Amino acid sequence: MNRRGGKHRSLGTRLAGAMLAGGLALTGCSTGDGAAANTTSFNFVAPGGKTDITYTGADRQEMPEISGEDLFDADKRISSEDFHGKVLVINIWGQWCGPCRTEAPELQEVYDRTKDDGVRVLGIDVRDFDRSAPQDFMRNRGLTYPSIYDPSGRSLLGLTGYPRNVVPSTIIVDRQGRVAAVYLRDLLAEDILPVVRDLAKESGA
C-alpha cells in the first residue's frame, strides 16, 4: 500500500479544493460530464473531499437501479437488480484509462476469492465508443465478471451528486441494496476484500 499512498494523499488534496455541495471535479482519468441531478434515494456527498467514503446503519441509502447493454451481447440487458441479495461491487471503468488496466485484475481477484460468499462484481464501461476495444480489454485480462456497455454514462444518471467524471471509481452495495462504500480512486484487492467480507456476513433481510 505504501507504493501508492502518496498518490492517494495528492488526490485527496485536489478533491478537498474542488468539492462543491453534491458534486466535484477531478483531473487525471476523467471525462467532461458533470454530476447527475436526478432525485433518487442515494444522494452522494464526499465529506471533506475524501476519496474513501463508508456508510453504516441508517446512513446507508438505497442504490438506484443501474442497467444497460451487456458489453458482449447488445441484445442482453444487465441490471444491478439482477444481483439482489448479493454484495455488489460496481466498478466504473474504461479501457482508455491507465489506472483501470491495473485495477481490473484486482477486481477479478476479489470476485474469485469471494463469489462463494455471495459477492459479485459488475463493471460499467464508459467513454469507449468502439465496442471491440473494451471487449479485448476484458478478454486479454481474463475478466469473467460482467460489464454494462455505456459509452455515454447514461446508466449513472440516477446517482444524484455522484462524480461521473471520476474514472475509475467503485460503489459497493450491501445485501439490502444500499450503498455501503464509495471509492473515488483505483483499488487493490486488499482494499476491497475486508469490506466485502464484512458485508457478506450481514443479513440480506
Given this model, what pLDDT does residue 11 score? Answer: 42
Domain holding 30, by residue range, is 2-200
Residue 56 included in any domain: yes
Residue 205 included in any domain: no
Residue 66 included in any domain: yes
Given this model, what pLDDT does residue 49 score? Answer: 80
Given this model, what pLDDT does residue 17 score? Answer: 36
Residue 149 included in any domain: yes
Residue 148 included in any domain: yes
Give pLDDT tens digits for 169-201: 999 999 999 999 999 999 999 999 999 999 999
Q: What pTM does this model have?
A: 0.82
Residue 191 included in any domain: yes
Given this model, what pLDDT does residue 188 score? Answer: 98
Given this model, what pLDDT does residue 35 score? Answer: 34
CATH label of the domain that carries residue 135: 3.40.30.10
Residue 122 included in any domain: yes
Residue 193 included in any domain: yes
Given this model, what pLDDT does residue 114 score? Answer: 98
Given this model, what pLDDT does residue 30 score? Answer: 55
Number of structural domains, the chain? 1
Positions of the chain with pLDDT under 70: 1-28, 30-41, 205
Given this model, what pLDDT does residue 37 score? Answer: 34
What secondary structure, in 3-state letters, does the chain show?
Answer: CHHHHHHHHHHHHHHHHHCECCECCCCCCECCCCCECCCCCCECCCHHHCCEEECCHHHCCECCCCEEEECCEEEEEEEHHHHCCCEEEEEEECCCCHHHHHHHHHHHHHHHHHHHHCEEEEEEECCCCCCHHHHHHHHHCCCCCCEEECCCCHHHCCCECCCCCECCEEEEECCCCEEEEEECCCCCHHHHHHHHHHHHCCCCC
